[in-house]
C-alpha cells in the first residue's frame, strides 16, 4: 500500500485552485501525468530575470526590464493590421508599448490612462525611441515584489499559458508534504545537497541560470533520489528472483564439442568467456538471468546455441525466441545445420505454422522428442507445452519488457533465461535497465568478417551514387537503400520509400524491391526472401531492416538523410553489410549544412565500428532521453536524472542500494521506512511489494 504521507502528491492537478478539467488535460499531456507529482517532476530549463528595474532613461535595449510607469495616451489604429500603441512614462522619460491584433476593451481595462502599473518585457530600440512589444506582464503596483524575481521557464505546449502553469506548480509545492529523509546524512553533507523538499523548492524557484543546470546541487540531489529508487528496486527484484530456486543444469560437453568441431573457424576469446560464464550460471542451483551483449555480427547466436546444447546434455530442452518472424526464420536457418551436425532435433514455430504442421510440432515439444525450439512469441502462447524446458533464450531484449521475461520462465520448471541484445548499451544504461541481470559482453568480431568503408556524401551527388551502384551491381553485389526517417510516422516514411523505389526502378528495373512497415508480414517476408536468395539486387527500405537481417551478398548500404538518424541506429543499419567475405561500402547521404551534433555523429561513424564506443558517444551527443526512444522501449526513462550528466551518481546509487540491503534486508529500520516512501514516490511499487512477502 502507498504510504499515507504521499497521498497529497498523487492527487489530480484539478484539485489545485484555478486548474479545471480543460487545463488539467493539457497539463497531463505536457507532464506525462495529471497528478501533483507530475507537476513537480516537470522541471524548468532556464530563467527570465525580472530583477533589473531601471528608470526608463537608463533602460538598456535587449534586456528584460521591470518598469514602474504611469499609463499615458492610447493610440488606437484605424486599420486592424496596424499596431495598437500605448504611451507610458516615468520621471526620466517615455516608452511605447506595442500590441498587434489586440482587443481594445482588454487594453483599456489592463492599462487605464493616468494609473500606475508595473510592466515587464524586453526593451527594444526603434529609431530614437524605446518600446516593448507585447509585454510579458502588466500588473498593479502591489504585485511589484512578486514580479521582481528570476522567473522559471518551463517546456510548454499549446493551450497552456506560462502564468497558469507557474501558478499550478507553486500550488503543488505548497501542497507537498515534508518527507522523511532516506539519504544517509554523511552523503548529503559530503555532496552539499539540500533535503528533498528544499531541493524541489529550489528547482522551481531558481535564482540564476546555473540553478537549472544538471550539475546544480538541488538537481543532483533529485536525480540521485530517482536513481537510488531505481537501483534499490532492481536489487529487491533481483534478490526476490534468487529466492526462487533454480536448477543445476550440467553436462559432459559432448554436444558442445560436436558443434565447435563443425564450425569453419575458432571461437573468439570473448565467445569462450561468455560460454564459460553462462554455463557456470546454469550449473548453479539459483535461477540464471543473464544478458548477452554483442555488437552486430559478434556471434551471439552461436554462444546461445552452445548454451542450449548444455541444456540438452542435461536431458532437458531449450528455446530461442525472436521478436519478428523474419528474425526467427533467420535464426533457424543459422542454427539448423549446426544442430544437425551435433545430432540435435530442432523445430521452428511462428504464427505461420498452422493446422497439422503446428499440431505435430506441439506434440514433439510436449513429448520431448524436439531438443531445441526457435520461434516468435508464438512459442509462449498457452497451448504450447514443453516436456522439460531448462533454458529460454530471448533475442532483442528491447522489444520485450520484464513481464515477457517472467512469462517465458513460467513455461519451464525453474527455467534459466539468457537475453541477447544486438544494441550495444552504454554501461550507465546497462545498470539502470538490467541491474537485475548479470552481463556478458562479446567485444570482437568473428574471423572472416570483411571491413566496411564508411563515407559521408552530400545529397547533391546522388547521380554519382546511382552510377557507382550500377557498377557494383554489375559485379553481382547486392545493396540496401535506406530511406530517411521523415517523422515518427510509418505512413510518411513509407511514402518516402515508395518515391525512391519508383526512381530506382526506372534505373534498375525489376532488380529493385521495396519493404516498409505498412506491408503485411507475408509480403515483407516474400520481398526479403527474393533479396536474400532470389533475383532482387537492390532493397529499398525504411528502418524495418535495422535488426538482425542477414544477407551475406549485400555489400553496399546507402542511407539517405543520414543526419536524421541516431548514431546507434546508423551503426545497426551499417551492420547489415560486410557479413560475408567481401568488403562493404556504406554511403551516408546528408543534406548540408550539418548541425554540430550531426557532423560529430557522422565523424564517429567513419572513425570506428566498435558498437560499445558508438553507444557511449551516442549517449553523450543525444542524452539518455532520446536514446531511450521507442527503439529501446525496454529501457527505463528518467524524469529527474539525465544519464549523460549523472552517470557518476548511478554507480553511487548502485553501491548504496547493495549496502542498504546488506544492513537492513527488509527495510525495517527508520531509514528503511523512509526508503519505502522513496520507492513509492518513484512508483517502484512492484519492488516495494516484494518486501511484504520477505
Q: Which CATH number belongs to the domain containing residue 116 in this structure?
A: 2.40.50.140
Q: Give domain status of residue 226, yes or no.
A: no
Cell numbers linked to 174: 505548497
Residue (of 572, 632, 422) closest to 624 by Cα position: 632
Whether 395 and 281 share a structural domain: yes
Q: Give the 3-state secondary structure percentages of the chain, helix then strand then coil, rounded to 5.
A: 50, 20, 35
150-184: b (≥16 Cβ within 10 Å) or e: bbbbbeeeeebeeeebbebbebbbeebeebbebbe
Confidence band (pLDDT; 50, 70, 90) for 573? confident
504 domain-assigned: yes
Over the stretch 144-176, which tens digit does the pLDDT of each residue have? Answer: 998 999 999 999 888 888 889 999 999 999 999
Would you state the pLDDT for residue 694?
Answer: 36
The strand pairing partners of 320, in sequence order, are 374, 393
Residue 119 has pLDDT above 70, yes or no: yes
Contact 677, 179 (CB under 8 A): yes
Residue 54 DSSP SS3? coil
Query: What is the pLDDT, as a whole number, of residue 623?
Result: 55
The residue out of 608, 639, 655 marking a domain boundary is 608
Same domain, 510 and 430: no
Is there a domain that residue 223 lies in?
Answer: no
State the total domains in the chain. 4
Q: Is the residue at 244 inside a domain?
A: no
Model pLDDT, residue 632:
43
For residue 141, give the H/E element and its range.
none
Same domain membership, residue 162 and residue 79:
no
Q: 124 and 187 share a domain?
A: no
Tell which residue, 312, 418, 320, has the closest CA to residue 374: 320
Domain check: are 434 and 463 in the same one? no
Same domain, 87 and 99: yes
Q: Domain check: are 506 and 593 in the same one? A: yes
Task: Give the residue from 193, 213, 233 where a domain finishes.
Answer: 213
In a domain, 634, yes or no: no
Least confident of 307-311, 320-324, 345-349, 426-430: 426-430
Buried b / exposed e over 505-518, threshold 16 CB at 10 Å, is beebeebbbbbbeb
In angstroms, the CA 229 to CA 247 distance is 31
pLDDT in tens, 609-626: 877 778 777 777 765 444
User: What pLDDT score was predicted for residue 609?
Assistant: 80
Quote the pLDDT of residue 298.
82
Compute the average pLDDT of residues 87-110: 94
Q: Are 684 and 240 in contact (CB under 8 A)?
A: no
The torsion defined by the Cα of 392, 395, 400 and 401, in degrees rounded to 10, comes to 60
Q: pTM higher than 0.85, yes or no?
A: no
List CB contacts of 531: < 8 A, sequence separation 6 or more.
478, 513, 537, 539, 551, 554
21-33 tens-digit pLDDT: 999 999 999 998 8
Does residue 538 surpass a pLDDT of 50? yes
Band of pLDDT at residue 388, cut at 50, 70 and 90: very high
* Domain end among 608, 640, 670: 608
> What's residue 71's pLDDT?
97
Whether the link from the prior residue into 593 is cis, omega within 30° of 0, is: yes
Q: Give pLDDT, residue 636.
A: 55
Task: State which residues form the domain around 274.
Answer: 254-442
Question: Is 620 inside a domain boundary?
Answer: no
> Are residue 303 and residue 262 in the same domain, yes or no?
yes
Please check whether residues 59 and 140 belong to one and the same domain: yes
Residue 10 near residue 2, CB atoms below 8 Å: yes
Does one domain contain both 312 and 371?
yes
User: Both 350 and 276 in a single domain?
Assistant: yes
pLDDT-derived band at 630, boundaries 50, 70, 90: very low
- Cell matching residue 469: 551502384
CB 68 within 8 A of CB 62: no
Instruction: Please give the share of the chain, as a percent, with pLDDT higher than 70.
Output: 88
DSSP of 429-477: HHHHHSTTSEEEEE-SPPTTPPPEEEEEEEGGGHHHHHHHHHHHHHTT-
CA gap 153, 172 in Å, rounded: 17
With a CB cutoff of 8 Å and minimum separation 6, the contacts of 458 are 589, 590, 591, 592
β-bridge pairing 584-590 and 554-559: parallel
pLDDT at 592 > cutoff 70: yes
Reported as a pLDDT band with limits 50, 70 and 90, residue 400 is low
**Cα separation, 423 vs 439, whole angstroms:** 14
User: Which residue in 249, 239, 245 sits closest to 287, CA to CA?
Assistant: 245
The mean-pLDDT minimum among 55-69, 71-85, 464-478, 481-495 falls in: 481-495
Q: How far apart are CA 337 and CA 231, in angstroms?
A: 42
650, part of any domain: no
Is residue 369 assigned to a domain? Answer: yes
CA distances from 149 to 53, 170, 207, 382 (A): 10, 14, 8, 62
Best CA proximity match to 86, nearest among 140, 139, 132, 136: 132
**Lowest-confidence region among 78-82, 299-303, 490-494:** 490-494
**Residues 546, 519: contact at Cβ < 8 Å?**
no
CATH number of the domain encompassing residue 467 = 3.40.50.300
Q: What is the mean pLDDT of residues 541-556?
A: 72
pLDDT of residue 521: 72
Within 509-547, residue ranges assigned H as helices are: 521-533
Cα dihedral 257, 263, 267, 273, rounded to 10, equals -40
Mean pLDDT of the residues in the chain: 86
The residues, ordered by sequence, that sit 6+ positions from 50 with a Cβ below 8 Å of its Cβ are: 64, 66, 120, 137, 147, 148, 149, 150, 151
Q: How far is the C-alpha of 192 from the C-alpha of 261, rounded, in Å?
A: 60
Higher-pLDDT residue of 628, 636: 636
Report the pLDDT value the prediction gives residue 547, as an integer from 0 to 100: 46
407 lies in the same domain as 460: no
With 90 as the cut, is the pLDDT of residue 280 above it? Answer: yes
Per-residue model confidence (pLDDT) at position 243: 67
Amino acid at each position: 500500500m502507498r504510504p499515507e504521507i504521499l497521498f497529497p502528491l498523487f492527487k489530480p492537478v484539478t484539485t489545485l485552485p484555478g486548474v479545471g478539467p480543460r487545463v488539467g488535460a493539457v497539463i497531463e499531456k505536457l507532464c506525462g501525468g495529471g497528478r501533483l507529482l507530475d507537476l513537480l517532476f516537470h522541471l524548468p530549463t532556464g530563467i527570465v530575470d525580472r530583477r533589473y528595474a531601471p528608470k526608463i532613461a537608463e533602460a538598456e535595449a535587449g534586456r528584460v526590464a521591470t518598469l514602474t510607469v504611469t499609463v499615458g495616451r492610447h493610440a488606437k489604429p484605424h486599420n486592424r493590421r496596424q499596431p495598437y500603441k500605448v504611451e507610458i512614462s516615468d520621471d526620466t522619460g517615455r516608452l511605447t508599448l506595442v500590441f498587434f491584433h489586440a482587443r481594445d476593451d482588454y487594453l483599456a481595462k489592463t492599462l487605464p490612462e493616468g494609473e500606475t502599473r508595473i510592466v515587464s518585457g524586453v526593451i527594444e530600440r526603434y529609431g530614437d525611441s524605446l518600446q516593448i512589444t507585447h509585454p510579458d506582464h502588466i500588473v498593479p503596483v502591489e504585485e511589484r515584489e512578486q514580479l521582481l524575481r528570476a522567473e522559471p521557464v518551463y517546456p510548454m505546449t499549446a493551450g497552456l499559458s506560462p502564468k497558469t502553469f507557474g501558478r499550478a506548480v507553486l500550488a503543488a509545492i505548497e501542497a507537498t508534504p515534508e518527507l522523511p529523509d532516506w539519504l544517509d546524512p554523511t552523503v548529503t553533507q559530503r555532496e552539499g545537497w539540500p533535503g528533498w523538499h528544499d531541493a524541489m523548492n529550489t528547482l522551481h524557484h531558481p535564482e540564476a541560470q546555473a540553478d537549472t543546470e544538471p550539475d546544480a546541487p538541488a538537481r543532483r540531489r533529485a536525480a540521485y533520489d530517482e536513481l537510488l529508487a531505481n537501483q534499490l528496486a532492481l536489487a529487491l527484484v533481483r534478490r526476490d528472483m534468487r529466492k526462487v530456486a533454480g536448477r543445476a543444469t550440467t553436462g559432459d560437453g559432448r554436444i558442445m564439442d560436436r558443434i565447435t568441431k563443425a564450425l569453419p573457424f575458432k571461437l573468439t576469446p570473448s565467445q569462450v568467456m561468455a560460454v564459460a560464464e553462462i554455463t557456470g550460471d546454469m550449473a548453479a542451483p539459483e535461477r540464471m538471468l543473464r544478458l548477452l551483449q554483442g555488437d552486430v555480427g559478434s556471434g551471439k547466436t552461436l554462444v546461445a546455441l552452445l548454451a542450449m546444447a548444455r541444456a540438452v546434455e542435461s536431458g532437458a530442452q531449450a528455446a530461442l525466441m525472436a521478436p519478428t518472424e523474419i528474425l526467427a526464420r533467420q535464426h533457424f536457418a543459422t542454427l539448423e545445420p549446426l544442430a544437425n551436425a551435433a545430432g540435435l532435433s530442432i523445430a521452428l514455430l511462428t504464427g505461420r505454422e498452422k493446422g497439422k504442421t503446428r499440431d505435430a510440432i506441439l506434440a514433439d515439444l510436449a513429448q520431448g522428442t524436439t531438443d531445441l525450439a526457435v520461434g516468435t512469441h508464438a512459442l509462449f502462447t498457452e497451448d504450447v507445452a514443453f516436456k522439460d524446458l531448462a533454458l529460454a533464450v530471448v533475442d532483442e531484449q528491447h522489444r520485450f519488457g520484464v513481464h515477457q521475461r517472467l512469462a517465458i520462465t513460467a513455461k519451464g520448471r525453474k527455467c534459466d533465461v539468457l537475453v541477447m541484445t544486438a544494441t550495444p548499451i552504454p554501461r550507465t544504461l546497462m545498470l539502470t535497465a538490467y541491474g537485475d541481470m548479470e552481463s556478458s559482453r562479446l567485444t570482437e568480431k568473428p574471423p572472416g568478417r570483411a571491413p566496411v568503408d564508411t563515407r559521408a556524401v552530400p545529397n547533391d551527388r546522388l547521380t554519382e551514387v546511382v552510377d557507382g551502384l550500377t557498377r557494383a551491381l554489375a559485379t553481382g553485389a547486392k545493396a540496401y537503400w535506406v530511406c530517411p526517417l521523415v517523422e515518427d510516422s510509418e505512413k510518411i516514411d513509407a511514402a518516402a520509400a515508395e518515391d525512391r523505389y519508383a526512381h530506382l526502378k526506372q534505373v534498375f528495373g525489376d532488380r529493385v524491391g521495396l519493404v516498409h512497415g505498412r506491408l503485411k508480414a507475408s509480403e515483407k517476408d516474400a520481398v526479403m526472401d527474393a533479396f536474400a536468395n532470389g533475383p532482387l539486387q537492390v532493397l529499398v527500405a525504411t528502418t524495418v531492416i535495422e535488426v538482425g537481417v542477414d544477407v551475406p551478398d549485400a555489400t553496399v548500404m546507402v542511407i539517405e538523410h543520414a543526419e536524421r538518424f541516431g548514431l546507434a541506429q546508423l551503426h545497426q543499419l551499417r551492420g547489415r553489410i560486410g557479413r560475408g567475405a567481401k568488403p562493404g561500402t556504406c554511403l551516408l547521404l546528408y543534406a548540408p549544412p550539418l548541425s554540430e551534433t550531426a557532423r560529430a555523429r557522422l565523424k564517429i561513424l567513419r572513425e570506428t565500428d566498435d558498437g560499445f564506443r558508438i553507444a557511449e558517444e551516442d549517449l553523450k551527443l543525444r542524452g539518455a532521453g532520446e536514446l531511450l526512444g521507442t527503439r529501446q522501449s525496454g529501457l527505463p526513462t528518467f524524469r529527474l536524472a539525465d544519464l549523460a550528466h549523472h552517470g557518476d551518481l548511478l554507480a553511487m546509487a548502485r553501491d548504496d542500494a547493495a549496502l542498504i540491503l546488506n544492513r537492513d534486508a527488509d527495510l525495517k529500520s527508520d531509514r528503511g521506512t523512509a526508503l519505502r516512501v522513496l520507492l513509492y514516490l518513484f512508483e517502484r511499487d512492484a519492488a516495494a511489494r516484494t518486501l511484504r512477502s520477505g
